[in-house]
Amino acid sequence: DGYLNVQYGTCYLLRILLQTRWNITEALTVYNGGYRQLTRLRKRAILSPETANYVTRVRQLLDQCRSTY
């Protein structure tokens, strides 16, 4: 069910945002790649290519939304 999936995904993302003190990059990292990716990011500033691409793309879309609305 797509509606339920969006609801749970939104709640999960909110929880992560609160845990990362609203750090969007860290929250997106956890949302896509899990807490291991966040540890990797914090220690070495390196992400897996998949997670790095995801974070970049979502941030681009967020910037588009901000400039539109």
Give the tens place of pLDDT for each residue, 20-54. 999 999 999 999 999 999 999 999 999 999 999 99
3-state class of 13 per DSSP?
Answer: helix
**Residue found by looking up tokens 């939304």 in the block:** 65
Residue 35 token pair: 């807490």
Nearest Cα neighbor of 39 from 31, 29, 49, 52 is: 29
pLDDT at 30: 97
- Tell me what the mean pLDDT of segment 5-34 comes to: 96
Structure tokens at 17: 């945002």
What is the per-residue pLDDT for 69?
80
First to last CA, the chain: 29
Q: What is the pLDDT of residue 68?
A: 87
Residue 18, pLDDT above cutoff 90: yes
CA distances 61 to 10, 38, 57, 67, Å, are 16, 21, 6, 10
pTM of the model: 0.85
